[in-house]
Every structure is written in C-alpha cells, then in structure tokens.
Amino acid sequence: MTPIPHTLRLLGAALLALATLLALAPTASADTGRTAAPPPTADDTVEIMAGNPVYGTGTRCTIGATVRTADGTGGFLTAATCGPAGATVRLSNGETGVIVWSSREDGVAFVRAKENWILTPYANRYQGGGHLTIRGSQEAPVGAAVCRSGPTTGWRCGTIQAKNQTVAFPWGAMRGLTRISACAEPGDEGGPVYRDGQLQGLIVGGSGNCRTGGTTFFKPINPILHKYNLRLVTG
C-alpha cells in the first residue's frame, strides 16, 4: 500500500502529554444511541463499562468492549499494549484482574471478569455526560460518522476515511485496520469506536493529537469476535 504520510506512533509510547485537554467540537456526530446512566449497584460490585480506564504495568489503556466467551465466561477487551497474558491489570477503583490472552497481531487483550463484576452494555460519553448503549456491531461504510471514547481525551467524533490499512508499529505491522479522522492520545488505546450504538472496533494507534488534529486507527471488532469466538454484551 502507499505509505501513509504521517509519522505514526503508538499512543501508549508517546513522550509528551497535553497539560490541558481541549473540548473540541466534533465535525460529525454518530451519537444517536445516548441513554440515561445505569442504575446504581451494591457496594461490593464493580461495573465494567467501555471507555473507562484500565491500568497495566506502567501504562494506561481503555476498556473497549464487554464480552462473553463460548462457554459464557465474561470479561472485557482492551489494548494488547496493556500487557501480556498473565499480567495483572487494575481498574480505576483499585480492583484487579488478569489478562487471559493478549495478541499483538490483533492489538487486543482479554481480561476475565471476577464474580463481583457487572458487565454493562454501556460506553462512557465523558464530556457529553450519560452513557451510550451498545446494541450490536453492524459495520459502517467509509464516510460514515463515528465517535470514540477514552479516558485521556474523552468523547471525540470524526468519519471513517479508509479500511484495510496496514500500519507499522514498533512490534511489527498490523493489517486490516480502519482509519478515522477522530483524534486520540496516549491512554486511549483499546478504546471503543461507535456508530449509532453499533461497536465498530478498538483503537490501536494513530498520529497527531487532539490539540492540532490527528488520525486514528482501529481494529474492526467483527473479525475479533469471530476469531476468538466471543459475543458482545449488548443492551
């Protein structure tokens, strides 16, 4: 393919972070699935929601989707950069979990849920407030408006620019990626990309930033669900 004229970097390996996050107005919106916040749960339970942070060893990633395996085991997907199989990750409330498998080839990792974890079908909308309900994973076409969620830059929107992209990362090339115009920054990796409540994929990297503009790449979710025999938790 023709090289992409941007200096690509892994979001989790950036050397600089913005001191102030700018709430940029999106040029396109795919946020038609907004819902009210979920009801509160008992004190000993933990709600797992896409878009929320998860901490690996010396890094912060983002929960991308809540899923179940073929035998019904629950958990969530996040970025492979959060750690290898067997590594411990920590949620924002201090709760810990273990990565069951992690694929650099696909850019994703699976963390098994504990008994007190509630796997919600929601995504954090950050600046906009409320939550988005995940209803499925119908693939959107090139040109469609999409939004993404992550703890570093919140809720950002743009459009799908190209599919089946190959991008070089420090650990090797990743294939089959989708390019979008929505920006992202370090800590947003693994975060979800949506259109009208339909999960499109999980962020793996990009270039630029949310101050001057950027390009982001995500791994489509449907090939991941098929390859690892997973099903989304939907509402």
**pLDDT tier for residue 171 given thresholds of 50, 70 and 90:** confident
pTM over 0.85: no
Lowest mean pLDDT among 17-21, 48-52, 67-71, 110-114: 17-21
**In angstroms, rounded to a whole number, what is the distance separating the alpha carbons of residues 161 and 141?**
9
Give the pLDDT confidence score for residue 169 in this predicted structure.
83
Give residue 31's pLDDT.
Answer: 54
Q: What is the mean pLDDT of residues 7-23?
A: 34
Cα Dmax for the chain: 53
Calculate the alpha carbon distances from 143 to 23, 132, 136, 162 in Å: 23, 21, 20, 8
Domains and CATH numbers, the chain: 11-32+135-221 (2.40.10.10), 45-122+227-232 (2.40.10.10)
pLDDT digits (tens, 9 = 90+) for 22-69: 233 333 445 555 444 455 444 689 999 999 999 998 899 999 999 999
Least confident of 99-108, 153-162, 165-174: 165-174
pLDDT at residue 12 tops 60: no
The whole-number pLDDT of residue 38 equals 53
Mean residue pLDDT across the chain: 85
**Parallel, antiparallel or unpaired: strands 59-62 and 96-103:** unpaired
